[in-house]
Amino acid sequence: MEVCNCIEPQWPADELLMKYQYISDFFIAIAYFSIPLELIYFVKKSAVFPYRWVLVQFGAFIVLCGATHLINLWTFTTHSRTVALVMTTAKVLTAVVSCATALMLVHIIPDLLSVKTRELFLKNKAAELDREMGLIRTQEETGRHVRMLTHEIRSTLDRHTILKTTLVELGRTLALEECALWMPTRTGLELQLSYTLRQQHPVEYTVPIQLPVINQVFGTSRAVKISPNSPVARLRPVSGKYMLGEVVAVRVPLLHLSNFQINDWPELSTKRYALMVLMLPSDSARQWHVHELELVEVVADQVAVALSHAAILEESMRARDLLMEQNVALDLARREAETAIRARNDFLAVMNHEMRTPMHAIIALSSLLQETELTPEQRLMVETILKSSNLLATLMNDVLDLSRLEDGSLQLELGTFNLHNLFREVLNLIKPIAVVKKLPITLNLAPDLPEFVVGDEKRLMQIILNIVGNAVKFSKQGSISVTALVTKSDTRAPDFFVVPTGSHFYLRVKVKDLGAGINPQDIPKLFTKFAQTQSLATRSSGGSGLGLAISKRFVNLMEGNIWIESDGLGKGCTAIFDVKLGISNESKQSCIPKIPANPRHANFSGLKVLVMDENGVSRMVTKGLLVHLGCEVTTVSSSEECLRVVCHEHKVVFMDVCMPGVENYQTALRIHEKFTKRHQRPLLVALTGNTDKSTKEKCMSFGLDGVLLKPVSLDNMRNVLSDLLEHRVLYEAM
């Protein structure tokens, strides 16, 4: 065998060294081959491994290393060239792969390290979240506890229950050993132990309120940790030497009703507080946590509110009891008053009757006496007797009326009547006196004043008569004006406007006179019974002073108002009153009785009538009409002739008022003057061609009893005459 010079000579190495090398190489090879297998095996098992291709590289590197070492086994002995070639190839490959791997690792290792840091970061974060979760849970727990506690506390309005429940629930929630409530005494100088949790019958135990620890607690709205040895916390006899649990105290504001002003909140300085003391179980080493303290504070506030509610309830119960007592007392008083009134009414009724009978006799006999022959002195005496007894009779009537008015037993007698007529009648009644005193009276009726109204005619007339009568009585000179209109506002509620449509309206009557006037200071007294102004002038006019009082009562019954305005003594005065009247549903036409189906052949025969008309033709036509109806007609063509001819035999006078101006109307006035006695005067009817309301009003104001629209048909005239004679008044629908 030839030895190649390129190869180092093989020395006859130590057999042992050789052997060990051989074996080591063998094992290395095995190890190198098995590592990738293990790697593959474990990687396959694990789910995540991002660097698979690195693994391949690594595996290749290891395999090749193994291969190298394996091939090395053959190089210990002489070997052929093939082996050397294979060895070289293997080594070259190994070199390449290992270099590549080394380069790769430069990139990979930092990545792997960063993974590690991220893992650490996430772990920290998880720990933090865990902690926060814990906190939230505790807060939620606390909230739940508070809600439950509040619910329990507020579910009752009884003071004791509230406080007891608070202590019980707090004790349960916070697992307290003891819980106590100290309430301020009446004097406010001491705190008294009022409620405890565990001790059933707390000893009546007080501490002065000015202790520093108490001031400390009262000074803040938070729960304050206090020493277990402070007087408020030492509730049980200290037995044994165990570690007392931590104690917390909190103030509970007591809100008193008087603390609540309308606009201010209660002043803090005058607040009273109660003290709530909570003790943790001893020997438990438990500490007060923040959330527990918060819970305590919230509960304390809720308790304060609940207590104030309870206080309010107590107050209202007391007030209600008081009211009930008062009610009973009032009821009793009312019944007594009723009995008294009834007794008085009975008395009045009896006395009234008893008094009227002799009164009647006096008046009747005096009147009869007046008719006989008397000497002037005797006549004077009889007249005085008559006047006095009339006065007395009026007084009795007034008193009876008033007493009936006062106790409300008077009721209005409602009926439909003609308002315009009422005024005119009143004026007619007053006119004689006014004429004697030379006081002109004028009547103004508003155009929109309804004609037919529903109300108490008699009493309304009484009111107007009284007022106008007063005006006449107390005026020495001047004039008197009576105005009637529809007022739009209820004087008692000036913002309330009554719309005079529908069924009601307010009638306002103003009576103004320029007479004696009234001192403004006396005005309030006017309507009181029996009060009279002191001046001699008024005294001489007589009267009992009841008139206005009665009028006022009537006006009030009619849901109205009456008052007097005066500018002072000697400046006259105005009396004004409003009353509520109903508007008659009947149309004006129905005031004339319904025209019967077959016209009545009324018996007009011989009825003497007078026709005044300047126009010959229409005079003739009117005469023809009336003659056809059977009347005895006299015709005149002028006012003068009319006044000359008219006599009490004429029952009706038809006068044409077509000519403009008031000449013809004056005739009516003069006829009125001529016939002073109402029943002697003929009825006056105006014939006019005008259809407007002003003509009608003019006629009314001049004292005409009716208005007819020309030309008049036969049927019309017939009906008109019959109505006229029946009712003595006529207003034809226009």
Partner 1 sequence: MDALVAQLQMQFRDYTISLYQQGFLDDQFTELKKLQDDGSPDFVAEVLSLFFEDCVKLIGNMARALDQTGTVDFSQVGASVHQLKGSSSSVGAKRVKGLCVTFKEYCEAKNYEGCVRCLQQVDIEYKALKTKLQDMFNLEKQIIQAGGRVPQVDIN
Binding site for partner 1 (CB under 8 A): 614-618, 620-622, 624-625, 627-628, 656, 658-660, 689, 710-714
Q: What angle do CA 678, 682, 686 make, to 5 degrees?
A: 120
On whether 548 is known to bind a ligand per the annotation, the reply is yes
Of the pair 299, 657, the CB lying nearest partner 1 is at 657
Nearer to partner 1, 459 or 623 (CB): 623
The answer to whether the beta carbons of residues 173 and 295 sit under 8 Å apart is yes
Take residue 399 and report the two structure tokens written for it: 């008193």
Give me the least distance between CB of 469 and partner 1, in Å please: 44
Q: Using alpha carbons, select from 307, 299, 147 the residue that is nearest to residue 223.
A: 299
Considering the complex, state which of residue 101 and residue 615 has its C-beta at the smaller distance from partner 1: 615
DSSP state of 421: H
State yes or no: 470 annotated in a binding site. yes
Give the 3-state secondary structure of residue 716.
helix
d(CA 580, CA 144): 67
Token pair listed for 525 = 């007294």
CB of 491 vs partner 1, minimal distance in Å: 45
Nearest distance, CB of residue 693 and partner 1, angstroms: 20
* CB 468 within 8 Å of CB 425: no
Of 183 and 658, which CB lies nearer to partner 1 in the complex structure? 658
Q: How far is the CB of 617 from partner 1 (least distance, A)?
A: 4
Nearer to partner 1, 656 or 705 (CB): 656
Rounded to 5 degrees, what are φ and ψ at 635?
-115, 140
Residue 524's alpha-carbon distances to 561, 564, 577, in angstroms, are 14, 9, 15
Nearer to partner 1 (CB atom), residue 551 or residue 618: 618
**Is the peptide bond preceding residue 711 cis, with omega within 30 degrees of 0?**
yes
Whether residue 602 is annotated as binding a ligand: the answer is no
Phi/psi of residue 499, each to 5°? -85, 120
* Beta carbon nearer to partner 1, 549 or 708: 708
544 is in an annotated binding site: yes
Q: Which two tokens stand for residue 53?
A: 């291709």
In whole angstroms, the minimum distance from the beta carbon of 668 to partner 1 comes to: 19
69 annotated ligand binder: yes
What lies within 8 Å, CB to CB, of 454 at 6+ separation is 414, 415, 416, 581, 582, 583, 584
Q: Is 45 known as a binding-site position? A: no
**Least CB distance to partner 1 at residue 624 (A):** 4
d(C-alpha 591, C-alpha 576), whole Å: 29
Residues sharing a CB contact under 8 Å with residue 213, sequence separation 6 or more, in sequence order: 226, 227, 230, 231, 232, 249
Q: What is the DSSP string of 354-367?
A: HHHHHHHHHHHHHH
CA angle, 551 as apex, 420 and 444 as ends, to 5°? Answer: 30
The smaller minimum CB distance to partner 1, of residues 152 and 656, is found at 656
247 in a known ligand binding site: no
Minimum separation from the CB atom of position 533 to partner 1 (A): 55
Tell me the closest approach of the beta carbon of residue 379 to partner 1, in angstroms: 56
Residue set of the binding site: 65, 69, 470-473, 513, 529, 544, 548
Residue set of the binding site for ADP: 470-473, 513, 529, 544, 548
